[in-house]
Amino acid sequence: VALRVTAMRAFEDINPGTWYGTGFVVDAAAGLVLTNRHVVTVGPIRAVAYFDQNEELPCEALYRDPCHDFGFMRFDPKALEFTSIVAIPLKPDELTIGKDIRVVGNDNAEKLQILSGTVARVDRNAPQYAGLYSDENTFYVGAATSTSGGSSGSPVLNVQGHAVALNAGGAQDASSAYYLPLDRVVHAVTALRESRVPKRGTVGCRLVFRAYAV
């Protein structure tokens, strides 16, 4: 699902404007679309979802995780006339080093691009972005898939077609791309399906993984 998001006013570190991202359906009956927190943002927005058969539907921000870089939008599945809705299964346990992956999204705002790679790391520290928000207290996945703007929120798929991670960012001067593991996403999806707000908390500090003592 291609997403166009418009912010009407400045909120925290987000300025008014329009940007593009990617999402994918995780619950067809409920119309749940998973994407990045930095795509949904935490402020007031208007969003449009573009589906496979060039159908456009308005969607609303349903949930933004307070810590990690994922969020959900919701659309009305009954409003689709020509597009068959298929939810991508979330399988965080199938994420392992050396597995071939495909990142399917709207890379550089081009609709439906497929980038290939191999999982190289599953213990990378969360990337640090410019601005007020960066993820923390979680490992990230690393692979060289050269993702760029517009591919935020893309599913990282294995050969079975299961989502094993969520594309979140990438290096500007290298092929490195960074993916969020889906463990906490599965917890949130389960709660939203039961019409509950996902319970979240914090330890009140930022933990950094170091492989060797320094």
Q: Which of 69, 148, 154, 162 is catalytic?
A: 69
Q: Which of 38, 135, 148, 176 is catalytic?
A: 38
Phi-psi category of 146—alpha, beta or left, where left has phi over 0 and alpha has psi -120 to 50?
Answer: left
38 in active site: yes
Amino acid at the residue 63? Y
**Backbone torsions φ then ψ of 71, nearest 5 degrees:** -160, 175
52 in active site: no
Q: Determine the Cα angle at 126 with ends 179 and 16, to 5°.
A: 80
173 in active site: no
Q: Which of 65, 135, 151, 154 is catalytic?
A: 151
Nearest Cα to 153, choosing from 10, 40, 43, 32? Answer: 40
Active site residues: 38, 69, 151
